[in-house]
Amino acid sequence: MAFIVTEACIQCKHTDCVEVCPVDCFYEGPNFLVINPNECIDCGLCEPECPEKAIFSDDELPVDQIHFVEINEDLSKEWPNISQKKESMPNAKKFSGVKDKINLLKKN
């Protein structure tokens, strides 16, 4: 079991979740955060901290977000670890609540 960051985080990248993670399992990309599912201890502290409601337990993922399990696992191997809160993306308010943002995900 692990928690997964989903599409709602893209272009927002609030880091409130990072600040409460006891095992520092978040990784930061250009416009998205991911959780390394092998490091996540399933404590659930991150989920209520996300203002975008972008974090779900892997067994409660909406059907249209299941592909984010693989995205989190793959990108957490490539991106640097983040363990401290940072400013959100400058355009986070503009993208808050926007659906179908997968095409905006920057991997590099």
Count of domains observed in the chain:
1
Tens of pLDDT along the chain (108 residues) come to 899 999 999 999 999 999 999 999 999 999 999 999 999 999 999 999 999 999 999 999 999 999 999 999 999 999 999 999 999 999 999 999 999 999 999 998
Residue 70 within any structural domain of the chain: yes
Residue 51 within any structural domain of the chain: yes
* Structural domain span for residue 58: 3-85
Separation of alpha carbons 29 and 42, rounded Å: 22
Residue 60 within any structural domain of the chain: yes
Question: Of 14, 10, 15, whose CA–CA distance to 65 is shortest?
Answer: 10
Residue 97 within any structural domain of the chain: no
Separation of alpha carbons 61 and 55, rounded Å: 9
Residue 81 within any structural domain of the chain: yes
What CATH number is given to the structural domain containing 9?
Answer: 3.30.70.20
